[in-house]
Amino acid sequence: MSVNYAAGLSPYADKGVCGLPEEFDSPDELKAKVEILAQLIKESQYLVVHSGAGISTSAGIPDFRGPKGVWTLEEKGESPQFETTFEDARPSLTHMALLGLQRAGYLKYLISQNVDGLHVRSGFPRDMLSELHGNMFVEECEKCGRQYVRDKVIGVMGLKPTGRLCDVVRSMSLRACRAGETAKTACVLEECSSGIAKVNRDNLHRRADLALTLGTSMQIKPSGDLPLITKRKGGKLAIVNLQPTKHDKHSYLRIHGYVDDIMKQLVELLGLDVPKWEGPTVCERSTITPECTADVKPPQSAPV
């Protein structure tokens, strides 16, 4: 790997319960539940999806608390096995199905706990996405806040200097931004204050009448408790996960199955196609044409 994933994660003492047994609904039960989910989405005026590490396992990136998760294996003194590098990982069917839901107008906002960058690289509009724990491909100027999406994993993890300069040109002096001499990565597994602030500022989870969680056990706070706010405001909570989650008792619908299989059935019931992935693509704004152009930038070294 470009970086040591497990070792580079920000320290987090309370990792929750790891290695819980997985549950699977029968094919008939799964079909019936997905039909209910499709109807909920059709009736929803403001759908917010909360995604977790479980949606990236089919892309070759291990989760945290599953049978082969990073923290589950760590408790056993073992190391996780990656089937790919972060740079070579391709968005899963679920990543692309979420893009399809957004383009069709069903999905109003996506809140992700993942740091693998696959939502951004799938072409999902960044102005409709909050990455609460950061993104391994993103640098941010510590002064002006400009973010850079790179084509390689940033060489450091956490809120640390990368040694590169922000190239924003000041309108008055026509000089590069010098107040932020070095760029820094977005935080990784620490709660990003900017991500939480954006969610709270726009009242995204409060505006939602349907919160759909995909591949997350919701054990990390405060991100794991955001879907509950939708429930408390009178909305519904639908959970898709193989293992028990922290908020199962609060859910209107609970589906046990592989998330890719569920999303495939869901888009078919909604009469949608899953967009084809044609390589890493960055879409900054949802108001741009649906086919956003590739805008993944290689990191530039600081001038000497």
Please list the active-site residues: 133
Does a cis peptide bond (omega within 30 degrees of 0) precede residue 222?
yes
CB contact at 8 A, 53 and 216: yes
Binding residues for Zn(2+): 141, 144, 166, 177
DSSP, collapsed to helix, strand or coil, labels residue 111 as: strand
CB contact at 8 A, 138 and 148: yes
Distances (CA, A) of 140 to 76, 179, 249: 36, 13, 39
Binding residues: 141, 144, 166, 177
- Environment class of 104 (CB within 10 Å of its CB; exposed 0-12, middle 13-18, buried 19+): middle
Q: Whole-angstrom Cα distance, residue 215 to residue 54?
A: 4
